[in-house]
Copies of this chain bind each other. A is one copy, B any other.
Amino acid sequence: MSTTPIPLDSVGYVSPQKIAFETPIQFASGASLPRFDLIVETYGELNAAKSNAVLVCHALSGHHHVAGYYRDAPDPSRSEGWWENLIGPGRPLDTRKFFVIGLNNLGGCHGSTGPGTINPATGQPFGSDFPVVTVPDWVEAQRLLADHFGIDSFAAILGGSLGGMQALQWSILHPDRVRNVLAIAAAPKLSAENIGFNEVARQAIRTDPDFHDGHFYAHGVVPRRGLRLSRMLGHLTYLSDDLMGEKFGRLLKGEDYQFGFDAEFEVESYLRYQGDKFAGYFDANTYLLMTKALDYFDPAKDFGGDLTAAFANSTAKFFIAAFTSDWRFSPARSKEIVRSLLANRHDVSYAEIESVEGHDSFLMPIPQYHALLRATFEGIRV
């Protein structure tokens, strides 16, 4: 076990808590669940006025473990949350000021009710019978979570990518319950190409013979091949050509070409490793649901395709950021959001940040980016 000390400006050791909601929830699809659980982590303390809460929404493969470390992990020093670099005492999202909530969304595979949960109707895991969930559905579950904590209004809701879409959706559905929206590396809706990449990933999973139409749990298998391909492809689209060039280029593992099909370029090894790792822990049905939520996200749809109309009642301050090397949700997509917000004369800041890390940039401690987040959070009155 490593003895690396945990940094002093981390929130330190944390524990998740599971919150039971013994009330039905209705989804956009018409389906419903009679009850559900959300697994959450919180950092910092909720003030007496309950005015200092920040909700962090996760992206495709994220979860509730946003910051801090797990004392019981095999190697605690490597158990940090996925946005550890952002959150802690003295960090840009300062837990001395804010009460931060991370959750795993409905349909997830990290403890919230999802496809791996036992379906009371069958006594078996839901599998592919789990309802298709949408961003508005998640916002509804998050609203019930806010009620649970007695939070009338979030100081801020923050997310990157699919997480940013949830933050935007909050400002549309519950404008009175969020004072600041930080949507990073997001888009107002997916392009045909975006949907296409998701569809390839879904087909990889769904055509894996071990998928068993989504009920693989009963067969004691997981569609590992499909999940692995999905993640390999995902990684390619999250990174940038430039970063991959810097990181791998045409480096070979061995001395020269092997004229076979073992991994011989470093980039091949990297992708296989990432795919294998992911296939070892992520749920295939959750992956399918997350990609569908992305495809369906289109808040303008209920307003005749008019994004400006969608944001008409929003009252939050907006911080919109995008990264130059992100070709999955490029700066042009964030600017579409900004234009609609400006057309409503909403209070919006936009930052286009130089980076080489592609879509994954939103997770990186890029100095200019973190300085802007710090300034934004410092400017929020609680």
Contact = CB atoms under 8 A, between A and B. Distances in A.
A225 B200 contact: no
Interface in A261-283: 261, 263, 265-268, 271-272, 275
A346 B192 CA distance: 42
A232 B267 contact: no
A189 interface: yes
B232 A229 contact: no
B250 A195 contact: yes
Contacts of A150: none
Copy total for this chain: 2
A193 B265 contact: no
Contacts of A240: 193
Contacts of A195: 250, 265, 267-268
Given A207-B229, A228-B207, A261 B202 contact: yes
Interface string A206-242: 1111000000000000000100110011011001110
Contacts of A30: 259
Contacts of A261: 128, 202, 206, 288, 292
Across the A-B interface, give the 6 residue pairs with the lowest CB-CB distance, nearest first.
A29-B259, A192-B244, A192-B248, A132-B259, A193-B241, A192-B267
Given A192-B267, A193-B240, A327-B327, 14 more contacts: A28-B257, A28-B259, A30-B259, A190-B250, A191-B250, A192-B248, A193-B239, A193-B244, A193-B245, A195-B267, A203-B232, A203-B272, A233-B233, A250-B298
27 contacts: A28-B259, A128-B261, A132-B260, A191-B241, A191-B250, A192-B241, A192-B245, A192-B265, A192-B267, A193-B236, A193-B239, A195-B265, A195-B267, A195-B268, A196-B235, A199-B263, A199-B267, A202-B261, A203-B229, A203-B232, A203-B272, A206-B261, A207-B225, A207-B228, A207-B229, A250-B298, A327-B327
Interface of A: 28-31, 128, 131-132, 189-193, 195-197, 199-200, 202-204, 206-209, 225, 228-229, 232-233, 235-236, 239-241, 244-245, 247-250, 257, 259-261, 263, 265-268, 271-272, 275, 288, 292, 295-296, 298, 327
